[in-house]
A and B are shown apart, each in its own frame.
Chain A
Amino acid sequence: MTSMPPRTLLYSLPALGVGTAQVESLRSYIERLSLAHHRTARQVVSLVLAQQPTRATTEEAKYITQSWLVHSGSPGNLELLARLQAATGQQLGSMTLARFANAISLYKAFDQRSPGQARYCPLCFTEDLKTLELPYGRLLWELKGVDCCPIHKIKLQLSSGCWTNACSARLALQNRPRAVGVCPDCGSIGRKCDTASHTAADATDITIANRLSGLLALNEHECELINGDSVRKGIQSAIDRRFDGKVTAASRAAGIGTGTICSWFKHREKVGLTTLAQLSIAAGIDLSPMLKGEVIPAEGDIEPSTLRRRLGRSYIRRAASDHVAHEQLMSALTSEDAPSLSRTASAIGTTVEALSARFPELADSVVAKRKALLATRRLETYATSAREYMRARLSLIRKGKSVNAKTLQSESGLFCLDRSGARFKAMRDVLTNPSKFEPHD
């Protein structure tokens, strides 16, 4: 009998959007793959890493799926990529920026947020659902500085789930799916539960998104033409043509240090992706041809300060002006979300200490407002949980089952992971003193 050659370890799911700016991110691919295999992402990554010749520990899989820092060209990421390619039989190189790692630095090129949060364009998800079973996350949405969808010209949504929007159908913790295109709270495919209105993107957002999306559309053959020399040649041509060869003028327009540009040539250091993007926008040239040493004009003009704020490195961003810092604090005070001081500071690229030193009273007010909001939320959680646990208690008594912490949690579907949290306190009170919650005549 003719024997079949060995098959792949995992399903050979085709990579989506390859060769376009809408290319799928590796994170989204792993999540889709794991759902197809009816496993969690961590289980799939563990399985891939557990293959010979070198076995990785389960801790590595845990770290990968917690941080999702898989798109750079680090040795660990390259190893994961190679193993995933072998396990699926698919070419996945376009799903990360690792293909540029030889020529440019990817330091701080990605938008690093809490892994529970996802950025997405709801209109892209709606379009995906017309042809696909599950919408997918784009690599573009993972890049730092990209805040809008270049196709639909709307701001990307940032969400950790719909529960904060008072969605009633919240899944139990162990049943929540992990995929960019699915709400982790209610499991809505395409995050249809997110009813927030779409905000139109401004010209700055669109220019940055367009400039970086051109880079993602490069195919592997074109990427082979990119190396350190071609990048430096592109930078030199851009400075010569747009700034008459003046490095100072170029650095001022792009919002990057003169020394930074000089060190690219003098020490032949790798050029950072974000600084390259800043320079290309300031020079009004297309980023992807620039990497190949070519100069092609592109539309879009952004103020150097905005460029610094959106794409620049954090030590530059700390130099936010007093005016910007004051505005940010005032905005935090008037916002209903009451953001923390830490988030307020990071939004303008500065630190908590820097903000507190400049505007101590305003900073204290922001902290106080946040505390009050958290206290209110705790009370609400306590009341809601107590109500649910009382309902579960009654149900258990009717069924003739014993009421204890374990049965109460499984009956209500509310699990207490934090023993110092309001939910745990509510459960403890329901168990020890249920009469407190019973209605009085």
Chain B
Amino acid sequence: MTIETKLTPISSPSPVAEPKNGAKTAVTAEMQDALERFKQARVRHPALQATLKDLLLHIRSPDSENILVLTGVTGVGKTTANEALQTALYNEFREDIERNPGLLPVVTVEAGQSGDQKQGFKGLYRRMLTVMNEYDPDRGAAVIQKDGHLWLNAQARRTTEGMRNVLESALRHRQTKALVIDEASHLLSMARSAALMDTLKSLANTVGCKIVLIGSFDLLDIIVQSGQVCRRTNVFALQRYKDNTEDRAAFRFVVRRLMQAWPCETVPAFDAVSDELREVTFGAVGLLKTLLTNVLTQQLQAHGVFSPHMLQSAVKSPALRESIRLELERGEAKLASAAYGGGAWTDAAFAKMVEKMEG
């Protein structure tokens, strides 16, 4: 369990600059810097580590499960998991990367909503090629190879198929092991779910890399629709911390790690109220961090002086929390049977099986 930030607490602003009656000041560059440092702090907590381990195992494996889905409730830390995955893959292929400067083992792209739905897959392919350092992906002759013959399709602009060919070539030549698509739920706006998954499946098969989809629970709906897709897919859930002894301790550990990264001299004793914090953030690390960032902003504006009321005003409103809770319950119900490691047998049936196998 590590924390990836340099802990350099900033000093409280000088008393000379302090305004009268405790009035808040505008955010200065120094405050921005402190906030940014806190935002960059990454806690490798147990849930993240476990998910990452399973995910890496499947990325390395030469099995036919080409599409890996990483999902979890909003604010559980999916984006952090994405960054941790990139770092882990980079470390794993470090020697290859240093030996071959053309290698690109992991490509990450965000399937963000650009508002232009006409772009569809072509837009996604373009974004991927841009991330892969491909110069002007819209232009150039698409090379088509078929039945022992090769020819160019020289059009002024590349078609979706042409762009796809270019992407396949790029992924193959850059020896990409994992193509990560963040905010993958937005892909649903491009095509019907079956067509979408077929496209991704064929891309993964042709190139021989793993496609990692990161997104909300909506992703589960598109996977269970086709047997073909299910066969080649595995779902990994980034779990939140629940109300049991083990999870409570783990959540306290996360709170303490974030306290270590607190960029003020006065560090509030958040660990004393970690259970309460877990309750209002539903045990999601991302939500906890948002909450603490909010508190930090207030503390910085108050010249480093902490007041417990800051915590009260930083918590999301009951209506918003209720909305998150509903989404979370719906998602977890879907996830209960879909996630990796869920197993197919009941505990009793499985115990019988073990007994049989052990003779």
CB distance from B56 to the nearest CB of A (A): 15
Contact with A along B143-159 (1 / 0, CB 8 A): 10100111111100000
Instruction: Give CA–CA (A5, B101) in the complex, Å.
Output: 8
Assembly CA distance A89 to B42 (angstroms)? 34
Contact, CB under 8 Å: B145 / A43: no
A37 at interface by CB-CB < 8 Å? yes
Chain B residues whose C-beta falls within 8 Å of the C-beta of A189 in the assembled complex: 145, 148-150
Interface residues in B115-148 by Cβ distance below 8 A to A read 133-135, 140-143, 145, 148
* A175 near B153: Cβ-Cβ < 8 Å: yes
Q: How far is the CB of B154 from chain A (nearest CB, A)?
A: 5
Please report the C-alpha to C-alpha distance between residue A83 and residue B173 in the assembled complex, in whole angstroms: 20
Instruction: State which of B87, B148, B153, B165 has its C-beta within 8 Å of the C-beta of A2.
Output: B87
CA distance A181 to B135 in the complex (A): 26
Nearest CB of B to A91, in Å: 12
A43, B100: Cα distance in complex, Å: 24
Q: Are A177 and B104 in contact (CB under 8 A)?
A: no
Contact mask for chain A residues 18-39; partner B; CB cutoff 8 A; 1 contact, 0 none: 0000000000000000011111
- Give the CA-CA distance A217 to B140 in the complex, in Å: 36
| Chain A residues with CB below 8 A from B310, complex form | none
Q: Is B150 a contact of A4 with CB atoms below 8 Å? A: no
Question: What CA separation (Å) do A2 and B165 show in the bound complex?
Answer: 30
Residue B83, interface by CB 8 Å: yes
| Complex contact A89–B143 (CB within 8 A) | no
> Is A174 engaged at the interface, CB distance under 8 Å to the other chain?
yes
The reply to whether B86 and A11 contact each other, CB–CB distance below 8 Å, is no
Residue B325 lies at the interface, judged by CB distance under 8 Å to chain A: no
Q: Are A7 and B87 CB-contacts (below 8 A) given A38-B162, A174-B154?
A: no
Given A186-B149, A187-B151: A89 and B135 interface contact (C-beta under 8 Å):
no
B152 touches A177 (CB 8 A): yes
Contact across chains for B148 and A175 when beta carbons are under 8 A apart: no
B103 on the A face (CB < 8 A): yes
Interface pair B83/A38, CB less than 8 Å apart: no
1/0 per residue, CB under 8 A from B, across A408-435: the answer is 0000000000000000000000000000
A39, A43, A134 — which one has the most chain B CB atoms within 10 A of its CB? A39
Q: Does A182 contact B (CB under 8 A)?
A: yes
Q: Are B97 and A177 in contact (CB under 8 A)?
A: no
Question: How big is chain B's contact interface, by range?
Answer: 35 or more
Q: Report the bound CA distance from A72 to B143 in whole Å.
A: 30
Contact across chains for A11 and B102 when beta carbons are under 8 A apart: yes
CA A174 to CA B156, docked complex, whole Å = 11
CB nearest to A192 among chain B residues: B148
Cβ–Cβ < 8 Å partners of A179 in chain B: 150
Chain A interface size band reads 35 or more
- Would you call B169 an interface residue if the criterion is a C-beta within 8 Å of the partner chain's C-beta atoms? yes
Residues of A within 8 A of B143 (CB): 35, 38, 177
Q: Is the CB of A13 within 8 A of B173?
A: yes
Are B151 and A2 in contact, CB atoms less than 8 angstroms apart?
A: no
Cβ of A201 under 8 Å from chain B: no
Known A-B contacts A1-B83, A11-B174, A40-B141; the reply to A35 vs B90 at CB < 8 A is no
Q: With an 8 A cutoff between CB atoms, is B166 at the interface?
A: yes
Residues of A within 8 A of B97 (CB): 4-5
Assess whether A402 is interfacial by the CB under 8 Å rule.
no
- Chain A residues contacting B169 (CB-CB under 8 Å) are 36-38
Quick check: B150 and A35 within 8 Å, CB to CB? yes
B-chain residues with CB within 8 Å of residue A1 when the two chains form the complex: 4, 42, 83-84, 86-87
Q: CB-nearest residue of chain A relative to B173?
A: A11
Indicate whether B91 reaches chain A with its CB closer than 8 angstroms.
yes
Contact partner, A175, options B42, B140, B151, B166, Cβ 8 Å: B151
A12 CA / B96 CA spacing, docked (Å): 12
Chain B contacts for A5, CB-based, 8 A: 97-98, 101
A356: CB under 8 A from chain B?
Answer: no
Mask of B67-102 contacts with A, CB within 8 angstroms, 1/0? 000000000000000011011001100000110111
Residues of B within 8 A of A6 (CB): 101
Q: How far does the Cβ of B323 sit from chain A's closest Cβ, in whole Å?
A: 31
The CA-CA distance from A310 to B42 in the complex, in Å, is: 71
**Is A47's CB within 8 Å of the partner chain B?**
yes
| Contact, CB under 8 Å: B154 / A38 | no
Q: Which residue of A lies closest to B132 (CB)?
A: A7
Chain B residues within an 8 Å CB radius of A39: 140-141
Q: Does A78 contact B (CB under 8 A)?
A: no
Write the nearest CB–CB distance from A55 to chain B, whole angstroms. 15
Give the CA-CA distance A190 to B150 in the complex, in Å. Answer: 10
**Within 8 Å CB of B166, what residues of A?**
37-38
Q: In the complex, A40 Cα to B152 Cα: how many Å?
A: 9
Shortest Cβ distance from residue B148 to the other chain A in the assembled complex, whole angstroms: 5
Indicate whether A89 sits within 8 Å of B162 (C-beta atoms), given known contacts A35-B143, A171-B151, A187-B150: no
CB neighbours of A182 from chain B (8 A): 150
Which of chain A's residues has its CB closest to B93's CB? A4
Contacts of B134 in A (CB 8 A): 37
Contact A175 B135 (CB under 8 A): no
- Does A328 have its Cβ within 8 Å of any Cβ on chain B? no
List chain B residues, Cβ under 8 A from A192: 148
Contacts of A11 in B (CB 8 A): 102, 170, 173-174
- A47 and B174: CB pair below 8 A? no
Q: Is the CB of B102 within 8 A of A36?
A: no
- Contact yes or no, B102 A176, CB < 8 A: no
Smallest CB-CB A-B distances: 10 pairs: A12-B102, A89-B101, A11-B173, A39-B140, A187-B149, A187-B151, A8-B102, A174-B154, A38-B166, A175-B151
- 17 A-B pairs in the complex with CB atoms less than 8 angstroms apart: A1-B4, A4-B90, A7-B104, A7-B133, A9-B133, A10-B102, A11-B102, A11-B173, A39-B140, A40-B140, A43-B140, A47-B135, A174-B152, A174-B154, A176-B152, A177-B143, A187-B149
Using CB atoms and an 8 Å cutoff, list the residues of chain B in contact with chain A.
4, 42, 83-84, 86-87, 90-91, 97-98, 100-104, 133-135, 140-143, 145, 148-154, 162, 165-166, 169-170, 173-174
Known: A6-B101, A12-B173. 15 other contacts (CB 8 A): A1-B87, A4-B104, A7-B101, A7-B102, A10-B102, A11-B170, A12-B102, A37-B166, A37-B169, A38-B140, A38-B166, A38-B169, A39-B140, A39-B141, A88-B102
